[in-house]
Structure 1
Amino acid sequence: MKAAVFKGPNRAQALQIETLQDPVPGPSDLLVKVGRCGICGTDLHMTSGHGWDFPVGSVLGHEFAGEVVAVGRDVERHRVGDRVSGMAKAGCGACEACFRGLPLFCPNGAMTLGGGFGEYVRIHDRAATRLPATLSLADGALVEPLAIGMHGVAMANMRLGARVLVIGAGSVGLATIFWARRLGAGRIVAASRSVARSPMALAMGADVFVQTGPDEVGEVIEALGNSPEIVFECVGALGLLEQSINHVAVFGQVVSLGFCTSPDAVVPATAAFKQVRISFPLTYSPEEFERVADIMLAGKVDPKMMITSEVSLDDLPATFEQLRSSNDQTKVHVVM
């Protein structure tokens, strides 16, 4: 099979198309022919030489959907011909992480770094979610980023009618807006440095878009009628955690979904005087993943509006590097 292999950071192209042996499913595995795979900001960040890189030789791509073409002898939940989307890890089902519904943190489970940037991927049966007949493979490849947003909103324990600020209008920010609107938020403000995604943020459920800058705190208060009760930080850039604390109301909470991998200074006293709660959700539960697949097309908003470009596997390495610099893309899909 053809696949885009990570050759290491600090190269003209971090990914290189190679011919690899087709994966063979183990007893509890599925072999999936990939149809679509999204490029995630984490893929870009963790191939950039910042100290959190994927192992050299990895085939990345964790936002994928495809068709099952072979199953292991012990598989009961799926059959050849099923269309599925896959999670990053299948837990053992018997540890604290699994009991909490967070198999990514299972120390014993089968881990998949990705594999969606290849023509075929092997995943554990428990890591696969069958797509409803109403979903296309393009929809299926959006389940993973949408599940990130759902998990973050769920962890916030948001009250009905809450005032919400979402910092960042990339795919995670848009997914957070999408679910905050559906799970009972009151007014929602989307904030970003660039106004390019303003129409998309409003279409996904935000009431107002604010361009970040010197006057942003006042503009957010004006738009919400008061300071936000919940701030979702969905970028992961340095300084945004402190920025979120400055925005949030007294007794409010900051939910950090940006996955910043560098030390990020905050002033604890600022948070203390507001009695701010700060949480750092990561990934999602299998139940949330399946729920996204079941209900993502309910309502008037089609999340596929996030897909701004499609490229072939052969064009992926060049496109990958282009996305490291300023661009107008939201979600780029690799189409096999």
Structure 2
Amino acid sequence: MTQIDPRPRVRPAPSRGGARTTSGGLFRAVWRWHFFASIVVVPVLLVLATTGLIYLFRFQLEPLLHPDLLRADRPAGMDFQQPYSAQMDAAERAYPDATLLAVAEPRSADRPTVITAEMPDGTPREIYVNPWGAEVLGSLNPDTTVSGYAVRLHADLMAGAWGDRLMELGACWALVTALLGYYLFWRGRRARSRRPRSLRSWHARIGALAGVGLVTLLVSGLPWTGFWAHRSRRSPPTRAPPCGALTTALSPIRPPHWTSPSPTATRSPGPRARRRCRGPTTPGTAVRSPTWTPRSRSPRTKGFGIR
């Protein structure tokens, strides 16, 4: 018998594309995350974009829907407007049970004066008064207007805390999707050079430009949400002023077109603005109290309507 020796086993050469395989796997994983995250993010972005656009053009949209309330006719030969006291008296006569809170002066000569009031059941009400004749044109609930619904949908989908968390989560995932898209844009530059007119190449170029505005809107809007607002608005603790210092005036800051119709409309400093001074003070001197600044009216504030 003839014994045939088996051929020696040849070990395969080590693959030089191990790094490419790992990199390609990361690219495909990031692409999947970018694709599936966009499915969740796109409906949220459509709601935010639509409602934000409606609220942005509310001054042009609401007069078209309510021309009898948001337009004030100027009588012929009259060159002066009635004082705010007369306009407030007219509003009180038309709505005796309402509590007047603030007055917004007309934005132009053909716009009415807007008086913000609160009804006995707690619902907000905006009373529109013709500044030329001190005539009440009517009133609206700012939460039931088109811009009011848009603001409430934009904030929390009219679902309270759960809707706010859902919109905040969708905005966060939109930010993640944009960052993943920029990674794919950088890694896929060679493929775009080979096929510059493909649909994926056009998507990458348009997304790279639109992503700048998207990231700017998301970063500027997230501080108005629930969780991000609680984290971003936390101010560092400040040291208490020394005893015996001069008292500073408590002057609330209001928009330039806002006036207080009554002394009760001016807010007073809350309990957080009060500080106790330990130790004796010099007779005849006052204790410094911090200047109180009220929180500005944000679109999420109840009763934020047409101005």
TM-score relative to the length of structure 2: 0.21
More strand by share: 1
More helix by share: 2
